[in-house]
Amino acid sequence: MNSRRLISSGSWLVRKLCTATSEKAKIKAAVAAASPMRNRLYPRLSALAATGGTVSEALNDFIMEGKKIRKDELGRCVKELRKYRRYQHALDIMDWMERRNLHLSHVDHAIRLDLIAKTKGIDAAENYLSALPPSAKNQLTYGALLNCYCNNLMKDKASSLFQKMDELRFTNNTLPFNNLMCLYMRLGQPEKVPELVDELKLRNIPRCRFTYVVWMQSYANLNDIEGVERVLEELAQDSEDKCTWTTYNNLAAIYVKAGLFEKAEACLKKLEKDMMPRQREAYHFLISLYAGTSNLAEVHRVWEALKRAFSTVTNTSYLVMVQALVKLKDLEGLKKCFEEWESSCSAYDIRLATSTIRGYLSGDLIEEAELVLGNAMKRSKGPFHKVRELFMVYFLEKCQFDLALQHVEAVVSEMGDWRPAPETITAFFDYFMKERDVDAAEEFCRILKSKNGLDSNAYHLLLKTYVAAGKVAPDMRRRLEVDGIQLSQELQDLLVNVCRE
């Protein structure tokens, strides 16, 4: 059987996965001494991710060069670093400010608390708030901690803190209510959102745009389209200024998800006619939502409108269009769009190649897909594991195990820390079950275990392979215990068949 290749090369794969390390990226001189960027603070701080220096060193060097650092400039740097999720560097700036005895405002304390939660954990954020002087324990800092609780789905702590804020009269605006609404949405309890809106009404607190958007989405999650439309009517009566592009974009997305394509397209037409901002993102939303309604003609029309509206078309715009064409299975249009981008792009984006390959493979255009991969490997440093996994899944579904294994070997050679995506793991085990090949499944599990990827889901699939093959493994229960796998009811049921003597 072809899958014996996995067994014969299995020990090599395990050794390779355990010992290979990805090649360290070469650090460019991000801030050359002669560059005018040396006179600006943010480029130096931004470059620290590549240079490996510290924030304190960068700030101190800047001052030693005779340059002044204004507090508002530091604030802008913190804002930019947060935007790019460089939370530790942003926190380091605020720590440096404190050491320099720069006054931290209430807003600064709230931002710092949020950064501490993101870098050091909730306990550290709680301790920071406790240590603040009474004047700094206000609506902003309590609100920041509430936001942290909600982001981390800590329902009990969020509810308790909200009650305390209520007692301190810190809940006289929509922000804390919005935080709780988002928490309930993420916890799968959308029915609680209208209750919070009723409380806002009871307290005569004006609803903001975001409140209306979450409120609409809560009814959508409850499959209550009439409820969504009632919220829209109330929003229109409340204030026309709150009926924005974002409002109708979200409404159109709700209609698309509900399969109400006529309503969705009517909404999109209104957007384009009355509220269309001159932003690339607006065109991106239109393209994606028209793809959701399966309207290929409108997708192409908006795409041409985007290209007329902007002198340059970004990689992100091409990616949105490629993904839309893949969704609509317009392989001819996909080929034209990708080749147009590939021939003119200044920076090769592996995401575009990956999406295009996904589209080609869905249409069994294997030669075209392999050609894209070959060109991508010439023009990009990767990583290529995601695109190779697409080939693995494709070949496994076609029962061409040898070809799938070639891509496994290639990924192992290219990077040592590869952990397959869940859908890739499922595809391998589906093949093993179909072939009733327990030996190959066990070898694949050894590969997963070498990179800490042998979890309860993988064991579940392994046990199903044993059942499909009609084979037993008396020591399986002990293996699960050694690997710390918690036994769900389904796993226990499978073990009854697999562990029998």
pLDDT tens track of the chain, all 501 residues?
Answer: 555 555 554 444 444 444 443 443 333 334 333 344 445 899 999 988 888 889 999 999 999 988 999 999 999 999 999 999 999 999 999 999 999 999 999 999 999 999 999 999 999 999 999 999 999 999 999 999 999 999 999 999 999 999 999 999 999 999 999 999 999 999 999 999 999 999 999 999 999 999 999 999 999 999 999 999 999 999 988 877 778 888 889 999 999 999 999 999 999 998 888 877 788 999 999 999 999 999 999 999 999 999 999 999 999 999 999 999 999 999 999 999 999 999 999 899 999 999 999 999 999 999 999 999 999 999 998 889 999 999 999 999 999 999 999 999 899 888 777 889 999 999 999 999 999 999 999 989 988 888 778 888 999 999 999 999 999 888 888 888 888 888 888 888 888 888 875
- The whole-angstrom separation of Cα 154 and Cα 176 is 14
DSSP state at residue 207: P
- The whole-angstrom separation of Cα 71 and Cα 91 is 14
The SS3 call for residue 107 is helix
- The whole-angstrom separation of Cα 325 and Cα 436 is 37
Q: Residue 4: what pLDDT?
A: 56
* Contacts for 70 with CB less than 8 Å, ≥ 6 apart: none
Q: Residue 49: what pLDDT?
A: 84
Q: Residue 453: what pLDDT?
A: 80
By C-alpha distance, which of 266, 257, 315, 312 is closest to 288?
Answer: 257
DSSP state at residue 53: -
* Contacts for 166 with CB less than 8 Å, ≥ 6 apart: none
* Contacts for 60 with CB less than 8 Å, ≥ 6 apart: none
Cα–Cα separations (whole angstroms), residue 132 to 45, 48, 58, 116, 358: 28, 30, 28, 14, 53
Q: Residue 32: what pLDDT?
A: 36
- The whole-angstrom separation of Cα 376 and Cα 485 is 39
Residue whose tokens read 């800092």: 141
Number of separate helices (H) and strands (E) present in the chain: 30, 0
* Contacts for 160 with CB less than 8 Å, ≥ 6 apart: none
Does residue 213 contact residue 247 with C-beta atoms inside 8 Å?
Answer: yes
Q: Residue 31: what pLDDT?
A: 37
By C-alpha distance, which of 455, 443, 451, 441 is closest to 484?
Answer: 455
Residue whose tokens read 């930019």: 80
Q: Residue 2: what pLDDT?
A: 56
Residue whose tokens read 């709780």: 180
Q: Residue 3: what pLDDT?
A: 55
Domain ranges of the chain: 1-16+415-501, 180-243
By C-alpha distance, which of 74, 68, 20, 19 is closest to 45?
Answer: 74
By C-alpha distance, which of 248, 297, 241 is closest to 272?
Answer: 248
By C-alpha distance, which of 219, 280, 285 is closest to 246?
Answer: 285
Q: Residue 33: what pLDDT?
A: 39
Global confidence as pTM:
0.78
Q: Residue 5: what pLDDT?
A: 59
Q: Which two tokens stand for residue 486?
A: 């918690």
Residue 270, class by beta-carbon neighbours within 10 Å (0-12 exposed, 13-18 middle, 19+ buried)? middle
